[in-house]
Amino acid sequence: EKLTVELGERSYQIVIGDGLLHQAAALLVEAGIASTSKLMIVTDENVAVHYLEPLLDVLRENGYQAHSAIVPAGEQSKSLAVYERLMTEAIEAGLDRKSAVLALGGGVVGDLAGFVAATYMRGIDFVQMPTTLLAHDSSVGGKVAINHPLGKNLIGAFHQPKVVIYDTKALRSLPKREVAAGFAEVVKHGLIADAAFVDWLEDNADLLWQLDSELLGKAIEKGCAVKAAIVSQDETEQGQRALLNLGHTFGHAFEALSAYSTLNHGEAISIGMCLAAKVAERIGFAETGVYNRTKRMLELFHLPTAWPGTLSPDAVLEAMKRDKKTVGGKLALVLPRAIGQVEVVKNIEEELILGV
Q: Choose the binding region for ligand NAD from 131-139, 213-221, 238-246, 327-335 (rule: CB under 6 A).
A: 131-139
CB of 333 to ligand NAD, least distance (A): 20
Question: Does residue 245 carry a catalytic annotation?
Answer: yes
Q: Which of 277, 340, 298 is nearest to 202 (CA)?
A: 298
Site string for ligand NAD, 178-197 (x = CB under 6 A): x--x----------------
Q: Choose the binding region for ligand NAD from 6-14, 19-27, 93-101, 103-111 (rule: CB under 6 A).
A: 103-111
Q: Which is nearer to ligand NAD, 107 or 285 (CB)?
A: 107
Site string for ligand NAD, 266-305 (x = CB under 6 A): ----------------------------------------
Question: Does residue 185 carry a catalytic annotation?
Answer: yes
CB of 94 to ligand NAD, least distance (A): 27
Q: Choose the binding region for ligand NAD from 137-145, 161-169, 280-288, 301-309 (rule: CB under 6 A).
A: 137-145
Q: 241, 293, 302, 321: which is the annotated catalytic residue?
A: 241
Angstrom CA distances, 125 to 14, 159, 174, stand at 15, 9, 27
Q: Choose the binding region for ligand NAD from 172-180, 191-199, 278-286, 297-305 (rule: CB under 6 A).
A: 172-180
C-beta nearest to ligand NAD: residue: 107
Phi and psi at 263, nearest 5°, equal: -110, 140
- Give how many residues touch ligand NAD by CB under 6 A: 29
CB of 192 to ligand NAD, least distance (A): 14
CB of 47 to ligand NAD, least distance (A): 5
Question: Does residue 98 carry a catalytic annotation?
Answer: no
- Rule CB under 6 A: is residue 137 a binding residue for ligand NAD? yes
Instruction: For the chain, give the secondary structure using H, E and C.
Output: CEEEEEECCEEEEEEEECCHHHHHHHHHHHCCCCCCCEEEEEEEHHHHHHHHHHHHHHHHHCCCEEEEEEECCCHHHCCHHHHHHHHHHHHHCCCCCCCEEEEEECHHHHHHHHHHHHHHHHCCEEEEEECCCCHHHHCCCCEEEEEECCEEEEEEEECCCCEEEEEHHHHHHCCHHHHHHHHHHHHHHHHHHCHHHHHHHHHCHHHHHCCCHHHHHHHHHHHHHHHHHHHHCCCCCCCHHHHHHCCHHHHHHHHHHCCCCCCCHHHHHHHHHHHHHHHHHHCCCCCCCHHHHHHHHHHHCCCCCCCCCCCCHHHHHHHHHHCCCEECCEEEEEEEEECCEEEEEEEECHHHHHHC
- Contact predicate 220/179, CB 8 Å: no
Q: 6, 237, 343, 349: which is the annotated catalytic residue?
A: 237
Query: What is the separation of C-alpha 181 from the centre of its chain, rounded to a whole number of angstroms?
Result: 10
Q: Which is nearer to ligand NAD, 158 or 307 (CB)?
A: 158
- Rule CB under 6 A: is residue 109 a binding residue for ligand NAD? yes
Give the separation between CA 209 and CA 180, rounded to whole angstroms: 8
CB of 63 to ligand NAD, least distance (A): 27
In this chain, which of 7, 29, 73, 338 binds ligand NAD, going by CB under 6 A? 73
Q: Which is nearer to ligand NAD, 99 or 138 (CB)?
A: 138
Question: Does residue 189 carry a catalytic annotation?
Answer: no
User: For the CA atoms of the chain, what is the radius of gyration?
Assistant: 20
- Rule CB under 6 A: is residue 161 a binding residue for ligand NAD? no
Strand 163-167 with 10-17, pairing: parallel
- Report, as residue numbers or ranges, the catalytic residues: 122, 143, 185, 227, 237, 241, 245, 248, 252, 265
Binding site for ligand NAD (CB under 6 A): 44, 46-47, 50, 73-75, 78, 105-109, 111, 131-132, 134-135, 137-138, 141, 143, 153, 170-171, 173-174, 178, 181
